[in-house]
Amino acid sequence: MTTVRTRFAPAPSGAIHVGNARTALYSWLTARHHGGAFVLRIEDTDASRVSEEAVHLVMDSLRWLGLDWDEGPDVGGPHAPYRQSERLDIYREHASRLLSEGRAYRCYCTPEELEQRRREALAAGRTPGYDGRCRTLTEAERAAFEAEGRPAALRFAMPERGFVVHDLLKGEVRFAPGSLPDFVIMRSDGSPTYLLAAGVDDLLMGMTHIIRGEDLLASTPRQLALMEALGATTFPTYAHHPLIVGPDRQPLSKRHGATSVEAFRERGFLPEAMVNYLAILGWSYGDRDLFTLSELVELFDISRVSRNPAMFDVQKLEWMNAHYIQQLDDDELAARCLHALTAAGLLPEPSLVRRAMPLVRERMKVLTDAAPLLRFLFTDDVEPDERAATVLTGAPEGYLEAAAAALERVEPWTAANIAAALDVLAQGAGLSRTKGWQPVRAAVTGSTVSPPLPESLELLGRERTVARLRAAVARAR
């Protein structure tokens, strides 16, 4: 039985898009479900687009999602190297072989000539595409171009027959004879094109399943023809999934907000939630929405992916993220919140963060929600915001001084005793608990929204609590 081999082959030019991350996930799940191998291959032949920083960012994002690879640029493998920029000699060798066997030919057409013929085709109502002009050059014509010093690209000679792609999601996709023009496999500067490099690598690396977006479907018959010309007798199974769209039903892009894995990570989403959400963004199993990674490995089948585009719903992702936050114990949740608190410019004390988790976890949709909720604990810069300032202005005269004096006498300093003291204070002023506690909350936290007040003050400590109340009194004078 053939071992399933899948790959994810990004051309990193920045942070990994959630659409590409879903492709990686589907490929990884397919390999893991069948006990096969998952390969990471970096398609970096275009040095003008790909940066070393982006390569590492993609790898870091995949690791954050929990997607490991069996072969890749950092772990090696039997088909190394796994960066296309280090495989250029391999592509040149295969291109030369295709040329010598008459399956490719030199093309001397200049970009200007190609553009002119494209315009003429459009004007005449024809589908633009290479017209095969250099395929039938005589030896004399070739010699004249060579003598002229014209640079030559290498073009693959497509068979003049139809092609059928057997796609796991789209079924049989037919390409009529003559609908697939000859295509460039080596540019005039000696660099390989995507069609050649990816086709050669998929063949040499023994890929059995290629899962990718439907925007690459048109390249599939070309790569099948190229593999066939190189002697392949078995071919990968393809699955071209629909793209992810935004609320306007257009392909997800930056105009819809955060679209990269890194952006969602920085916003405080958990990898468990991202993986779960990306998995069901087009794939389903009954009426369930929530799956652990191990459950996805057990249940995932690429053939169950929908043929319709999936709409990215940030609200559903937030709901799912809140669910996973609630599944974490206080120690783990505190550990994950530390980065968000630090990124917000705070200096969190880990044990205090841990003690605060029961107070804030139910109010959190994302990890970054911890920063505004807990800011008052890790900074003494609690200048009241606009709403808090209004509450303080409306407090009864002498109320905050009385609050400071009452809380200074609380012993022991526990949430229950603090609550009792605040209630006595409010009742003495003829205020409800809500109206009596709000000026204290505003003075101590700088906000009208905080975790439960007595528990917050217990964490803050008597000295800091009383100092903030007296500072609020001083500001009002």
The token duo for 27 is: 């490929």
DSSP assignment, residue 181?
A: -
Asked about 254 being catalytic, the answer comes back as: yes
Count of other CB atoms within 10 angstroms of residue 436: 22
Burial class (CB in 10 A: 0-12, 13-18, 19+), 339: middle
The token duo for 122 is: 């459009």
Count of other CB atoms within 10 angstroms of residue 34: 18
Q: Which helix (H) or strand (E) holds 220?
A: helix 220-229
CA 86 to the chain's CA centroid = 26
Q: Are 280 and 291 spatial neighbours (Cβ–Cβ below 8 Å)? A: yes
* Spatial separation of the C-alpha atoms in residues 450 and 454, rounded to whole Å: 11
The token duo for 311 is: 């709409």
* CA proximity to 439, closest of 376, 377, 392: 392
What type of residue sits at position 102?
Answer: G
Count of other CB atoms within 10 angstroms of residue 471: 17
Out of 254, 316, 365, 435, which one is annotated catalytic?
254
Q: Are 95 and 185 spatial neighbours (Cβ–Cβ below 8 Å)? A: yes
3-state secondary structure 275-307: HHHHHHCCCCCCCCCCCCHHHHHHHCCHHHCCC
The token duo for 106 is: 């030199």
Q: Read out DSSP for 129-150?
A: ----GGGG--HHHHHHHHHHT-
Count of other CB atoms within 10 angstroms of residue 56: 12
Contacts of 48 (CB under 8 A, 6+ apart): none
Task: Render the burial of 414-425: b for 16+ CB within 10 Å, e for the rest.
Answer: ebebbbebbeeb
* Spatial separation of the C-alpha atoms in residues 370 and 440, rounded to whole Å: 21
Count of other CB atoms within 10 angstroms of residue 287: 5
* Spatial separation of the C-alpha atoms in residues 286 and 271, rounded to whole Å: 23
DSSP assignment, residue 365?
A: S
Which residues are part of the catalytic machinery? 254
